[in-house]
Chains A and B, each alone.
Chain A
C-alpha cells in the first residue's frame, strides 16, 4: 500500500521560506512511473494544484506560484520536497503531497492524482 507523509514546520513568519518534505513508502520515486506533486487548500477555499516533479527533476508548476516555488526529488531517501519563498498570510493552508499519473495517451494527456498524503497545516504569522 502506497503511503505519503508530509513533514515540516507548522508555523513560519512572513517573508520566510516554507519547506515541506514528503516521504514515500510502498512505491519508489526512482521507478519513473509516476510524477510527484503538491496541492494546498487555504482556509475556507478549494484545493489548488501547486505543481509536480519527475524523478529526472523535470517540473511542472502552477504559473501563479512559479516564481516563488521549487519542487525537488531526493531519490536515495525516496522523498520529494516543496519550497515556497517569501511567504505571506495567503500561503496559510493545508498542504498535501501526492502521486500523479501523467503522460500522453491517444491524442490527449492523462493526468490524475491517485494517492494523497493526509495533509500538513502551515500557518504564516508573525
Chain B
C-alpha cells in the first residue's frame, strides 16, 4: 500500500486528453517535488516529468505535469496507442526519509 494514491486505471480514445492524479500528504507531495514515470511491460521505466513540471530531453510536450498542495497530475494530450502503459508518480517523503512511488495507473487507449 503506497503513501501516494493513484487511480488503478484510466482510459481515453486516440487523440484525446487524459489526466492521471496522484494524491499524497504534506510530508510527501505537500513539501517536495513530484516526478512521473512511464512503464511498458518488459522494459525499463522512463522518466517523463521531474520537479513537478519539467520534461527531460526527448520527452514530447504532450506530457505535462503540475502540482497543487498535496496532489499532482500528469496530463497526456493527443493520445497515441503507443502511450498504453503503466504510469507512476514519485516524490520524497519527509516522514519515511526515503523516496516513494505511487501504486501506478494503467492507461488504456481505446
Interface residues of A (CB under 8 A from B): 37, 39, 46-49, 51-52, 60-63, 96, 100-102, 105, 108-114, 116-119
Given contacts A47-B39, A102-B99, contact A112 B45 (CB under 8 A): no
Residue pair A111, B103 in contact (C-beta under 8 Å): no
User: Is there an interface contact between B32 and A63, defined as CB atoms closer than 8 Å?
Assistant: no
B94 in the interface (beta carbon within 8 A): yes
Q: Decide yes or no whether B31 CB sits under 8 A from chain A.
A: yes
A118–B32 CA distance with the chains assembled, in angstroms? 28
A-B residue pair count with CB separations less than 8 angstroms: 84
- For B22-58 the 0/1 string (1 means CB < 8 A from A) is 0000000001110101010001111100110000100
Given B51, B90, B98, which contacts A105 in the complex, CB threshold below 8 Å? B51
CB-CB under 8 A from B45, the residues of chain A are 39, 47, 96, 113, 116
A110 pairs with B51, CB closer than 8 A: yes
Nearest chain B residue, comparing its CB with the CB of A113 = B47
Query: How far apart are A52's CB and chain B's nearest CB, in angstroms?
Result: 7
